């Protein structure tokens, strides 16, 4: 399949590599900056563009992997006069209907993972949630995604927005907690790497037991002696104190139910 990548960010980089490794032909990469487009294009051996009007017309698949606020602006520009192609986006929170009225065949491929350009991933382990405008297009996307992932799951836009919400809690918010922990340890000259065994064990635990059963710590017992001491230690960082307080109350309230 001939593929055009619209966007050259973290997700586009990994998805583009996976598609190319599966034997698809990446024809071109578009980005708002030539530097970004050229970097990914050099990895994939294809053309780079920073002018949307120079995108070729004959690709089988156009993958729009851009920020949520830019996507609605690009859809009519990319879909223009390309009636026989399939258009997909990769966003977790944007409905499939963003393509309605602009394309005949369209869909979504949402690989649920955190991506960094320079951090390699085994793409076959990444679940890909897909949706399509019609059954034939869905079959095409299923075949394509099965070339790169062992977990291909049809999912509606309505359910995908809740999946994306859950992913923010499980990934972005958890990583922010790591950042808070790193700030605290750094202030007291304690290497953050001492946290690695704890972080790894918590992550592994929820593979075999529910997050509810895996929860430990003073908030589970509502141990005010420990909780109040911790809050006092955070008195110079009200933003960290607020997180600690909200999280502790949330843990205890869930345990009470």
Residues 43-98 pLDDT 10s: 999 999 999 999 988 899 999 999 999 999 999 999 987 778 999 999 999 999 99
Annotate 17-43 with DSSP letters as a single string. HHHHHTT-EEEEEE-SSHHHHHHHHHH
Residue 157, pLDDT score: 97
Mapped onto helix, strand or coil, the DSSP state of residue 76 is helix
- φ, ψ at 107 (rounded to 5°): -175, -165
Residue 251 has pLDDT above 80, yes or no: yes
Residue 247, pLDDT score: 97
As beta bridge partners, residue 25 has: 2
From the list 51, 101, 93, the residue with the least C-alpha distance to 75 is 101
The predicted model scores a pTM of 0.92
How is residue 203 annotated by DSSP? H
Residue 134, pLDDT score: 97
Q: Are 115 and 10 in contact (CB under 8 A)?
A: yes
Residues 122-178 pLDDT 10s: 999 999 999 999 999 999 999 999 999 999 999 999 999 999 999 999 999 999 999
- φ, ψ at 23 (rounded to 5°): 100, 0
Percent pLDDT > 90 in the chain is: 93
Residue 82, pLDDT score: 73
Confidence of residue 100 (pLDDT cuts 50, 70, 90): very high
Lowest-confidence region among 16-20, 55-59, 109-113: 55-59
Q: Are 86 and 140 in contact (CB under 8 A)?
A: yes
Structure-token pair, residue 116: 């960094």
Residue 206, pLDDT score: 95
Cα 198–Cα 202–Cα 205 angle in degrees, nearest 5: 135
């Amino acid at each position: 399949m001939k593929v055009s990548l619209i966007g050259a960010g973290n997700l586009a980089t990994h998805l583009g590599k996976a598609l190319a490794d599966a034997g698809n032909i990446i024809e071109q990469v578009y980005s708002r900056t030539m530097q970004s487009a050229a970097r990914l294009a050099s990895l994939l051996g294809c053309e780079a563009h920073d002018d949307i009007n120079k995108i070729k017309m004959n690709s089988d698949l156009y993958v729009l992997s851009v920020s949520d606020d830019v996507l609605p602006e690009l859809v009519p520009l990319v879909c223009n006069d390309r009636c026989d192609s399939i258009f997909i986006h990769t966003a977790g929170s944007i409905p499939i209907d963003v393509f309605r009225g602009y394309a005949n065949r369209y869909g979504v491929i949402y690989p649920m993972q955190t991506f960094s350009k320079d951090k390699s991933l085994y793409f076959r382990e990444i679940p890909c949630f897909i949706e399509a405008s019609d059954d034939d297009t869905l079959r095409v996307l299923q075949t394509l995604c099965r070339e790169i992932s062992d977990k291909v799951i049809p999912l509606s836009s309505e359910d995908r927005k809740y999946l994306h919400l859950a992913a923010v809690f499980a990934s972005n918010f958890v990583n922010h907690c790591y950042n808070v922990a790193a700030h605290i340890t750094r202030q007291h000259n304690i290497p953050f790497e001492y946290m690695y065994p704890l972080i790894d064990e918590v992550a592994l635990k929820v593979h075999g037991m529910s997050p509810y059963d895996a929860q430990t710590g003073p908030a589970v017992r509502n141990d005010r002696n420990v909780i109040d001491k911790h809050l006092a230690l955070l008195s110079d960082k009200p933003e960290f104190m607020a997180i600690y307080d909200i999280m502790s109350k949330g843990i205890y309230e869930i345990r009470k139910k």
